[in-house]
Structure 1
């Protein structure tokens, strides 16, 4: 399942944009809970929208929630994980690994990256889908069904 709630590409008010972010964050947190993570909200947004922590493994994910595959130079070397959706699926991947992949894709040679300091893709290519496969969450519907059965 992609974004749980989308504006259909039209103009979005600030309020509606904040509502969309909360709905999508909660969907992603549900997926993370199913993988054994707990979620924590920072007091202020300094580049981290929320933190996922798995007490069993000690894994910590500082998460930046995006509407699409996105890399940004301000996130380099900060151990940030980018959460995004594409074609009905949610992904959570290490930003710096995504930036390394972007070199192979040629994205770091674009004006968007060299001058704008960021790059995003509205849809994943076949190669990107393959590269992102290890970071794909199970479908939200499957998590909801499993929770309902317990």
Structure 2
């Protein structure tokens, strides 16, 4: 009689295709949000700008979340009650997009950039966050990230 064994080996993130990386990263943020009482449901497409929904155990809070590999602001998310999730320094950050724009405005010159001002693009992203902006995001810091994630 032979046993049916499954051999578990960690996946090399760099070998995953774009869709697989997105699902991988969703599972990582979902694990962190579970610690805060959220059940996350991945959406098949960007429904109202969200990659996934996070339902809180209180039964009254539902977040529409856009998952990014770095801090990102994008005009198409403005005014839509979208929360931005991104990793930085071993932790996840989860902040309302419109609040993030306010913090970016107060602590950077990103809104003066050509990529933000371009009416067709209207977005800005960066893996580098200055200390002032990072300090202003402290209350939105979750964590930690479980294992390796979003490696460039």
Q: Assess if the C-alpha contact under 8 Å between 2:87 and 2:145 holds in 1.
A: no
Q: Note closer, same or farther for the CA distance 1:97–1:26 as it changes in structure 2 (3 Å cut).
A: same
Q: Distance in 2 between matches of 1:22 and 1:81?
A: 18
More helix by share: 1
Q: 1:134 aligns with which of 117, 136, 139?
A: 139
* Paired positions, count: 133
Unaligned runs of 5+ in 2: 1-10, 147-152
More strand by share: 2
Q: Note closer, same or farther for the CA distance 1:129–1:74 as it changes in structure 2 (3 Å cut).
A: same
Q: 1:60 aligns with which of 53, 59, 62?
A: 62
SS class of match (1:45): strand
Cα displacement (A) at 1:71: 0.2
Cα displacement (A) at 1:94: 0.5
Match of 2:7 in 1: none
Q: Distance in 1 between matches of 2:12 and 2:87?
A: 12
RMSD: 2.2
SS class of match (1:123): coil
Structure 1 stretch displaced more, 61-70 or 50-59: 50-59
Cα displacement (A) at 1:132: 1.2
Q: Note closer, same or farther for the CA distance 1:19–1:82 as it changes in structure 2 (3 Å cut).
A: same
In terms of Rg, which structure is larger?
2
TM-score (norm 2): 0.79
Q: 2:116 aligns with which of 109, 113, 116?
A: 113
- In the alignment, structure 1 residue 94 sits paired with structure 2 residue 96: yes
Match of 1:72 in 2: 74
Q: 1:5-54: per-residue Cα shift (whole Å, max 9, x none)?
A: 754xxxx8xx6111111111101001111100111233432321000011
Match of 1:28 in 2: 29
